[in-house]
Amino acid sequence: MIARASQLFLPTLRDAPADAEAVSHKLLVRGGFIRQVSAGLWTFLPLGWRVHRKIEQIVREEMDAIGAQEMLAPVLTPAELWQRTERFDAPEVFKLEDRSGRPFVLPLSHEETLTFHAAELQSYRQLPQSWYHFQTKDRDEPRPKAGLLRVREFIMKDSYSFDRDEAGLDVSYRRHGEAYARIFARCGLEFYRVQAESGLMGGSESEDFLAPAGAGENVLVTCVNGDYAADMDAASGVPRPPEFPPPLAAPQEVETPGVTTIEALAEFLGIDPAATSKAMPVVTSDGTLVLALVRGDDRLSEDKLMGELESDFRPATDEEIRAAFGASGGSLGPVGFKGRVIADETLREGQFVAGANRDGWHLRGVQAGRDYEPEFADIRATKEDDACPRCGGRLHVQTAIELGHIFKLGTRYSVPLGATFLDEDGRQKPLVMGSYGIGPGRVMAAVVEQHHDEHGIAWPASVAPYDAHVVALPGAEEIALRAAEALSAAGKDVLLDDRDLRAGEKFADADLIGCPVRVTAGRKSLEDGKVDVRERATGAETRLDVADLGKEP
């Protein structure tokens, strides 16, 4: 197939949008792949849609290979299904009504709809089942940014497995995970498969597939020894041990006027910040105030705490804090607090300085188990240079793009939606489910983040918009056409730049668009009938006869 650039919509730009920070945002806009309609809403232009469809096809082939069946569910979804699974009130969900006042949602995933259809499965003999589709999703994202990385509307491949028991789910989950690894490898990506938090989706277990990149909403934690990788939301690093002051037989009050930060407290008392505790009162969705405690030199992981609480939460207001503790923020601690306390595991051993619940005062020598009774959990955010929990090696923290996410949902959706089957023992049982998502647009952005240089994109051949970009310079149009025809005859998709532009403009566009191979027919071609062949990724150049184009080396 030959596409003539003179007949295509190829709106390349010399400059990136002023608000673009991510490399993928800049280059996809400049290369004429995407255009913004509104905040978080993007149109895939012809070049971009070709890349998107190639990624879709890779996904489709690998899903079909594990026996998944493709279908298509509607975007518009009755609110009743989401109300039954208690996801309707999530702030990320777009809600609307029809002209009769009936409520609907624009779903960010299709668990409810596919489980609705799975209710037609009647017997264990029909199991296992695995279904998937490519469909538009909508998310009421409050801060869209970074081009395709944080959007309000996107296409996702979501698939769902239905099994009779946990053992069957284990098999379906493993097959999807292996298929995902093949998909991302075929797209030319460096990626890690890591444990993750399930969040709004729910379920017993989930994993992310993360691609290291300069842009991205996720944080990837890896061990320098290569034996550990995790999403920051689920990572468990081992911090350095604190330098404790001499132990005390009981907590001792110390006046700390005007000291409201950990840094100021450590300096005032002349102690290690790691020997202090940090108190963060939060309020769950049912209105309960809970005190979260981490070490003074640590940061709370909101995702981990959400998992422990099994609830969304918000910071407590000044009024709520004063009512519960009798003091304001900066002087809060667990001693004497009558509510629920969740303390990080790092506070299990040793004595720490904590707020005295009295403005301008702290307590030395506060010891869990003796002075207060907490629930212990891993709720700290892992940090750069923490020790690896497996080998003790140094942990490295870097930004990453979430390419896909797989979940063991169990019966989280089948029970409220009545999706049951008759098992071999004659009993009705709920279907055991898994959910698996990939965003082709995110994959596309991740490829650009990992495959580019200062001139533009360098697409891997598997997802490139065209296999070859033939540049026709003035006077060599006929040879350029013959080169394009030779490549097309060899089964290559060819972009023939036959526009009436200067050579420099054509070369700049070729580098920006990033097809794997650039073939140039110019003045020398008129003399020897040969063309210059340049590999976009490496810059390696060869000169070949037109007749040799498309032949395997």
CATH classification at residue 190:
3.30.930.10
Residue 202 reports pLDDT greater than 70: no
Same domain? 260 vs 205: no
pLDDT grade, residue 529 (50/70/90)? confident
Q: Rounded CA gap, 127 and 424, in Å?
A: 12
CB 403 within 8 A of CB 126: no
| C-beta of residue 298 within 8 angstroms of C-beta of residue 272 | no
Task: Give the tens place of pLDDT for each residue, 403-423.
Answer: 999 999 999 999 999 999 999
Q: How does pLDDT run across 460-497, given as a tens digit for each residue?
A: 999 999 999 999 999 999 999 999 999 999 999 999 99
**Would you place residue 195 in the very low, low, confident or very high pLDDT band (cuts 50, 70, 90)?**
confident
Residue 162 shares a structural domain with residue 96: yes
pLDDT in tens, 209-218: 999 998 988 9
Residues 422 and 359 both lie in one domain: no
User: Which of 314, 344, 377 is the last residue in one of the domains?
Assistant: 377
Looking at the structure, tell me whether residues 97 and 223 fall in a common domain: yes
- Do residues 177 and 59 both lie within one domain? yes
Domain check: are 141 and 75 in the same one?
Answer: yes
Please compute the mean of the pLDDT values over residues 448-455 and round it to a whole number. 97
Looking at residues 138-160, what average pLDDT do you find?
95
Domain holding 516: CATH number? 3.40.50.800
Examine residue 390 and state whether it is found in any structural domain, yes or no.
no
Please count the structural domains in the chain. Answer: 3
Confidence of residue 311 (pLDDT cuts 50, 70, 90): confident
Share of the chain above pLDDT 70, in %: 98
The stretch 387-410 carries a mean pLDDT of 94
What percent of the chain has a predicted confidence (pLDDT) above 90? 90
542 is a domain residue: yes
Please report whether residue 223 resides in a domain: yes
The pLDDT of residue 222 is above 60 = yes
Q: Interior CA angle at 55 toward 199 and 115, to 5°?
A: 40
Q: Are residues 423 and 473 in the same domain?
A: no
Whether 383 is in a domain gets the answer no
- For residue 224, pLDDT beyond 60: yes
pLDDT of residue 312: 86
The answer to whether position 388 is within a domain reads no
Q: What is the pLDDT of residue 234?
A: 84
CATH of the domain at 334: 3.90.960.10
478 shares a domain with 405: no
**Displacement of CA 283 from its chain's centroid (Å):** 27
Mean pLDDT of the chain: 94
525 and 415 in one domain? no
Q: What is the pTM of this model?
A: 0.85
The rounded distance, in Å, linking the Cα atoms of 499 and 492 is 21
* Assigned token pair, 137: 């999703």
Domain residues for the domain of 346 are: 252-377
Beta bridge mates, 211: 401
Taking a C-beta distance cutoff of 8 angstroms, is the pair 531, 506 a contact? no
Q: What pLDDT sits at residue 471?
A: 97
Does residue 525 carry a pLDDT above 70?
A: yes
Predicted confidence (pLDDT) at residue 426 exceeds the cutoff of 60: yes
The per-residue pLDDT for 552 is 60
Give CA–CA dist 163/179, Å, rounded: 18
First CA to last CA across the chain, in angstroms? 22
Cα–Cα distance for residue pair 182/178, rounded to 1 Å: 6
> Are residues 258 and 213 part of one domain?
no
Helix or strand or coil: residue 246? coil
Q: What is the mean pLDDT of residues 98-108?
A: 97
Q: Which of 346, 394, 404, 392 lies closest to 221, judged by CA?
A: 394
201 pLDDT higher than 80: no
Report which of 270, 278, 265 is spatially closest to residue 246, judged by C-alpha positions.
270
Q: At what angle do helices 23-30 and 440-450 cross, to 10 degrees?
A: 100
Name the residue among 30, 47, 265, 235 with its Cα closest to residue 147.
30
100 in a structural domain = yes
> Cα 365 to the chain's mean position, in Å?
42
**Statement to judge: residues 406 and 537 lie in one domain:** no
Residue 366 lies in a domain: yes
- Could you check whether the bond before residue 128 is cis, i.e. omega within 30 degrees of 0? yes
| 377 CB-near residues (< 8 Å, 6+ apart) | 304, 308, 342, 343, 344, 345
Whether residue 243 is contained in a domain is answered as: no
Residues 367 and 474 in one domain: no
